[in-house]
Amino acid sequence: MSERDYRLFLQDILDSVVKIEKYTNDIDFKEFRNSDKKGLFSLLILV
């Protein structure tokens, strides 16, 4: 395992959550379901 401080990992997760929220903030479920989710999936891979 990496010697990186656990707080940095947690910060990375929080940053990704903020990005996901921004990506999905202005659309409803139907729009999300029908959208191209490549950007969202790339964000999820970061988490």
Task: Give a yes or no: residue 1 inside a domain.
Answer: no
Q: What average pLDDT score do residues 36-43 get? A: 68
Whether the model pTM is above 0.75: no
Task: Give a yes or no: residue 24 inside a domain.
Answer: yes
Distances (CA, A) of 9 to 14, 26, 33, 36, 44: 9, 28, 29, 28, 14
Task: Give a yes or no: residue 34 inside a domain.
Answer: yes
- Structural domain harbouring 20: 6-46
Percentage above 70 pLDDT, the chain: 77
The span from the CA of 19 to the CA of 11, in Å, is 12
- pLDDT > 80? residue 6: yes
Q: 12: part of which helix (H) or strand (E)?
A: helix 6-24
The span from the CA of 12 to the CA of 27, in Å, is 24
Number of domains present in the structure of the chain: 1
Report yes or no: 39 and 19 within 8 Å, Cβ to Cβ. Answer: no
